Amino acid sequence: MPEQFKMILKHADSAGYTPDMACYLRHGGYESLKKALATPARTLPDGKTQSPQEVVRDEVLKSGLRGRGGAGFSAGLKWSFVDRRSGKPIYLICNADESEPGTFKDRQIIYKDPHQLVEGMIISCWANDVKLAYIYIRGEMPNGAKLLNQALKDARANGFLGKNILGTGYDLEIYVHRGAGAYICGEETGLIESLEGKRAYPRIKPPYFPAVLGLYMCPTIVNNVETLCHVRHIVAMGSGEYAKLGTPNNTGTRIVSLSGDVQKPGYFEIEVGKVTIGQLIFDANFGGGLKPGRTLKAIIPGGSSSKVLKAGEVFKLNRKGADGQMTKVDVPLLDLPYDFDSLQGAGTMSGSGAIIVMDDTRSMVDSLANLSAFYAHESCGQCTPCREGALWLAKGLHRLEHGEGRKEDADYLTHIAQNIQGRTICAFGEAASWPVLSFVKKFRDEFEARGAADEAARASGAGPTPERKLAASPQP
Amino acid sequence: MSFSVPPTLEAELDELATHYPQKRSASLMFLHAFQEHFGHVPREAVEWTARKLGLQPINVYELVTFYPMFRQQPVGKTHIKVCRTLSCALAGSAELREHFCQKLGLDSHKHTPQTTADGKFTVEFVECLASCGTAPVVMVNDDLLEKVTVTEADRVLASGKK
């Protein structure tokens, strides 16, 4: 039976582990920073030399680390895009605006092991010649912000942060910046605008790629909390050892957030791709199965913006055979390895690593209505298709939820969603559309039946159907 | 009530402004500090922030209206934020909010934050609080309560009434 592989969360939940400096130091804290700062320059086979910072950047690239925030883009490549010749300062921002529905992994790191993040950040800043960095934490984590501020203060007092870090002559300052409840701040250019003291309206790319024109129009790196923690471990074990974790092109570990209709919701750190979706839901080591007497209906595999997967679906994935040839193989939903590429192959994404499970007692219409209300609330309002469309989607679904549906609503919702995606400055347009497109496509009968039933009730003069409930009563 | 910024708060704000190469960046943190101090962001705090950071009042005011956490009116002493989004909804958060509203005599059909007449409680529906594994979750002022049951909800109400 597969098990968790705890690297980032190795200590966080162990008895007696506290988020303070003394405890972190007792568990080998800041040793990776010392190792990184002592990295020697190296000469490559072609005669070129790499500075110590270049060596560490190269290590991160070779490790295969992919961003844990949502896009799954190579962290090393992202760093390589940074404009180092402009003469402008380079900034690094830790994206701790964890707010993708279903996701609660960064919270574990921030609240239980904040120094791990701080150490990962200092190494990443040093490797990228950053002198000033920020942790952008969501406003709803006030206690988390306090813990991080304390961690930074203690890091300064111990010489890991501030002027002349560990006697190397390297200066770095990190500050905590609090958001104030806007989901769009998780989008990196929106986050940058917010950090500049403005409304979090995302910037259009091109030209505003953060690596070139980021914070204050300077080159900027934005990395997720979990991603930055991995840097510490890559330095500690070396890229070669790190890349042995997980599966090819999906290296390392990642923390999966599991919620919804399972016996044991929670967060589980796994080697990427070594555990299947079925195991995450049903194994005793993970979700522990569904509630008694229920069957699986659907899962949202990578945060609420990812396309829904229906129980019983079978996907055609590319697999490399023993002869090295790529062939198409049928993979049922529950056998899908939980990694970036398999989920992409299944037409969805592993996003922020958050799985929401829904069993046969749940209405897909009402579940989608809940999500669309979220996106309508969170659209920043900058682009018309999203500002208006997200609201129309929510209104259409609200109608279906409240007994005022129509038969053509399935087509209506699809039509609106298709006219949002691809027509906005940032990926929020897709985030709002994809759930609608996938729910309606895969559960069309449910949407049509709801609309037809409402029409029939109106025609018979029975009046509006009473409001449906997504859940039973709360626990007594 | 006349508006004044106590010296300790001003010192805190001055220190915050040093964190940024461009002063405007400090505006969100200023608003947080004001809201913590006054319980909400008064109009005068917006104007004060604008003067301090060399901005037009609209540059600050548009933040107050954009970011859901900032409020222009006071809220109850016990501010109850119930998570509305999917994982919590699957675990009964809508019903939980209804329970809070019922017990406090508030209208659960209104979707805006509602405050009791005695100013002791505000009940609000908020979007995902990033703790979906322990749904349903509720924030009571700065603290997160997890796997909130009806009994727990009643405890929150009892301690807020004191």
Q: Is residue B100 part of a domain?
A: yes
Per the CATH hierarchy, to which homologous superfamily does domain A21-244 belong?
NADH-ubiquinone oxidoreductase 51kDa subunit (3.40.50.11540)
The pairs formed by A271-274 with CB atoms below 8 angstroms and a separation of 24 or more are: A271/A5, A271/A245, A271/A246, A271/A247, A272/A245, A272/A246, A272/A247, A272/A338, A272/A339, A272/A340, A273/A246, A273/A247, A273/A337, A273/A338, A273/A339, A273/A341, A273/A342, A274/A2, A274/A5, A274/A246, A274/A247, A274/A337
Residues 298-317, chain A: which have Cβ within 8 Å of B?
Answer: 300, 304
Cβ contacts of A266 on chain B, cutoff 8 Å: 133
Which pLDDT value is given to residue A473? 54
Give the N- to C-terminal CA distance of chain B in Å, as an integer.
Answer: 27
The CATH number of the domain covering residues in A364-471? 1.20.1440.230
Interface membership of B84 toward A (CB under 8 Å):
yes
Q: Are residues B60 and B86 in the same domain?
A: no
Give the separation between CA A178 and CA A211, rounded to whole angstroms: 22
Q: Is the CB of residue A103 less than 8 Å from the CB of residue A353? A: yes
Interface membership of A261 toward B (CB under 8 Å):
yes
Which pLDDT value is given to residue A326? 87
Q: Is the CB of residue A383 less than 8 Å from the CB of residue A425? A: yes
Q: Is the CB of residue B116 less than 8 Å from the CB of residue B106? A: yes
Nearest to B131 among A107, A380, A472 (CB): A107
**Cross-chain residue pair A265–B126, CB shorter than 8 Å:** no
Q: Are residues B91 and B152 in the same domain?
A: yes
Which pLDDT value is given to residue A245? 97
Which pLDDT value is given to residue A321? 78
Give the separation between CA A453 and CA B24, rounded to whole angstroms: 54
**Cross-chain residue pair B133–A104, CB shorter than 8 Å:** yes
Q: Are residues B50 and B85 in the same domain?
A: no
The CATH number of the domain covering residues in A254-359? 3.10.20.600
Nearest to B151 among A102, A378, A476 (CB): A476
Nearest to B149 among A132, A141, A474 (CB): A474
Which pLDDT value is given to residue A465? 66
Chains A–B, number of C-beta pairs less than 8 Å apart: 173
Q: Is residue B2 part of a domain?
A: no
Which pLDDT value is given to residue A468? 67
Which pLDDT value is given to residue A77? 97
What are the sequence ranges of the domains in chain A? 21-244, 254-359, 364-471
The answer to whether residue A464 scores a pLDDT higher than 80 is: no
- Say which CATH number the domain at B49 has: 1.10.10
Interface membership of B91 toward A (CB under 8 Å):
yes
Lowest mean pLDDT among A418-422, A468-472, B31-35: A468-472
**Cross-chain residue pair A102–B66, CB shorter than 8 Å:** no
Q: Is the CB of residue A252 less than 8 Å from the CB of residue A63? A: yes
Which pLDDT value is given to residue B162? 81
Q: Are residues B100 and B144 in the same domain?
A: yes
Q: Is residue B73 part of a domain?
A: no
Q: Are residues B15 and B89 in the same domain?
A: no
Nearest to A104 among B59, B126, B131 (CB): B131
CA angle A375, A377, A378 (to 5 degrees): 65
**Cross-chain residue pair A138–B130, CB shorter than 8 Å:** yes
Lowest mean pLDDT among A164-168, A453-457, B19-23, B30-34: A453-457
Interface membership of A102 toward B (CB under 8 Å):
yes
Closest CA to A409 of A442, A376, A381, A436: A436
Cβ contacts of B151 on chain A, cutoff 8 Å: 476
Number of domains in chain B: 2
Quote the ipTM score. Answer: 0.97
SS3 state of residue A270: strand
Nearest to B132 among A104, A142, A180 (CB): A104
pLDDT band at residue A1 using 50, 70 and 90 as cut-offs: confident
pLDDT band at residue B2 using 50, 70 and 90 as cut-offs: confident
Domain boundary residue, one of B26, B44, B66: B66
Least Cα separation, residue A216 to chain B (angstroms): 8
pLDDT band at residue A461 using 50, 70 and 90 as cut-offs: confident
**Cross-chain residue pair A470–B66, CB shorter than 8 Å:** no
Could you give the percent of chain B with pLDDT greater than 70? 99
Cβ contacts of B92 on chain A, cutoff 8 Å: 471-475
Give the separation between CA A289 and CA A295, rounded to whole angstroms: 10
Quote the mean pLDDT of chain A. Answer: 95
Closest CA to A242 of A263, A272, A203: A272
Interface membership of A403 toward B (CB under 8 Å):
no
Number of C-beta neighbours around residue A131 at 10 A: 14
Domain boundary residue, one of B28, B43, B66: B66
Q: Which residue of A has its CA nearest to B18?
A: A175
pLDDT band at residue A211 using 50, 70 and 90 as cut-offs: very high
Residues 100-119, chain B: which have Cβ within 8 Å of A?
Answer: none
Cβ contacts of B20 on chain A, cutoff 8 Å: 175
Least Cα separation, residue A431 to chain B (angstroms): 15
Interface membership of B71 toward A (CB under 8 Å):
no
Alpha-carbon radius of gyration of chain A: 24
Q: Are residues B125 and B94 in the same domain?
A: yes
Q: Are residues B103 and B138 in the same domain?
A: yes
**Cross-chain residue pair B67–A180, CB shorter than 8 Å:** yes
Q: Which residue of A has its CA nearest to B147?
A: A475
For the entire predicted model, the pTM comes to: 0.96
Residues 2-21, chain B: which have Cβ within 8 Å of A?
Answer: 19-21
Number of C-beta neighbours around residue B32 at 10 A: 22
Structural domain including B46 reads: 7-66
- Write the DSSP assignment of chain B as a string of letters: ------HHHHHHHHHHHTT-SSGGGGHHHHHHHHHHHHSS--HHHHHHHHHHHT--HHHHHHHHHHSTT--SS---SEEEEEE-SHHHHHTTHHHHHHHHHHHHT--TT--S-EE-TTSSEEEEEES--S-GGG-S-EEETTEEE-S--HHHHHHHHHHHH-
The answer to whether residue A474 scores a pLDDT higher than 60 is: no
Interface membership of B99 toward A (CB under 8 Å):
yes
The answer to whether residue A467 scores a pLDDT higher than 80 is: no
Amino acid at A9: L
Give the separation between CA A370 and CA A113, rounded to whole angstroms: 33
Most A CBs within 10 A among B64, B69, B81, B90, hence the mutation to make, goes to B90
Q: Are residues B154 and B82 in the same domain?
A: yes
Q: Are residues B47 and B86 in the same domain?
A: no
Q: pLDDT (tens digit, 9 = 90+) per residue, A122-179?
A: 999 999 999 999 999 999 999 999 999 999 999 999 999 999 999 999 999 999 999 9
Q: Is residue B71 part of a domain?
A: no
- Write the DSSP assignment of A82-107 as a string of letters: S--SS-S--EEEEEE---STT--SHH
pLDDT band at residue B1 using 50, 70 and 90 as cut-offs: low
Least Cα separation, residue B78 to chain A (angstroms): 16
Q: Which residue of B has its CA nearest to A198?
A: B63
Give the separation between CA A82 and CA A291, rounded to whole angstroms: 48
Cβ contacts of A469 on chain B, cutoff 8 Å: 94-95
Q: Determine the length of chain A.
A: 476
Number of C-beta neighbours around residue A112 at 10 A: 17
What's phi and psi for A464, nearest 5 deg?
-65, 140
Closest CA to A58 of A242, A195, A206, A209: A242
- Say which CATH number the domain at B132 has: 3.40.30.10
Nearest to B89 among A139, A377, A470 (CB): A470
Least Cα separation, residue B141 to chain A (angstroms): 10
Most A CBs within 10 A among B102, B108, B128, hence the mutation to make, goes to B128
Q: Are residues B62 and B82 in the same domain?
A: no
Q: Are residues B100 and B29 in the same domain?
A: no
Q: Are residues B153 and B100 in the same domain?
A: yes
Q: Is the CB of residue A92 less than 8 Å from the CB of residue A129? A: no
The answer to whether residue A463 scores a pLDDT higher than 80 is: no
What's phi and psi for A208, nearest 5 deg?
-85, 55
